[in-house]
Amino acid sequence: MGFGFKSSPVLSQLIKVGSAFANWTHIDLSMNRLGTNLEPVIKGLKGNTRLVSLRLSNNEIGGAQNIQLLKSLVKSHPTLVDLDLSNDESN
- pLDDT at position 17, please? 62
Neighbours of 42 (CB within 10 A): 19
pLDDT > 70 in the chain, percent: 82
Short-list 9, 80, 72, CA closest to 49: 80
Q: Is 52 in contact with 77 (CB distance < 8 Å)?
A: no
For the cut 80, the answer to whether the pLDDT of residue 91 exceeds it is no
Separation of alpha carbons 27 and 77, rounded Å: 14
Q: Average per-residue pLDDT in the chain?
A: 83
CA 84 to chain centre: 10
Short-list 30, 43, 39, CA closest to 63: 39
Separation of alpha carbons 56 and 12, rounded Å: 14
Entry pTM: 0.79
